[in-house]
Amino acid sequence: MSGSSEVVGAVFILIGAIISLVSAIGNVRLPDVYTRSHAASKSSTLGVLCTLVGTLLYFLISDGYFSIRLILGIFFVFLTAPVAAHVICRAAYRHQVPLAEESAQDELKDYYMENENHGEKTKIFKLN
């Protein structure tokens, strides 16, 4: 039984390492903060999750040990990494970090311009 658990755990850990490598390559090669954030959040989250699941399965199958710490690690990585990437991209956009030249369109430009102009009008009314 120990040999099969090592193989299952090793396969998940290897898949996680490959996905993390792809994420690192994406962080280096992609042109702007928005696409880099996408590579960092999606790929690295999946890579870390595969690695933690592989570790959890290895200890569960070989030793019969269920680790609540690994479950909490999986939960918090799955919860926090995409949210953090979203917040970073939103802050970069609000601080007008330019998009890459290859970007096809900016769908948020009209939305933020409309809301910022509306916000300036309310500030003017509040001052008077």
User: Is pLDDT at 59 greater than 80 in this prediction?
Assistant: yes
Q: What integer best gives the mean pLDDT of the chain?
A: 83
83 with 91: CB under 8 angstroms? no
Q: What is the pTM of this model?
A: 0.74
Instruction: Please tell me the predicted confidence (pLDDT) of residue 18.
Output: 95
Query: Is residue 67 classed as helix, strand or coil in its secondary structure?
Result: coil
d(CA 48, CA 121): 46
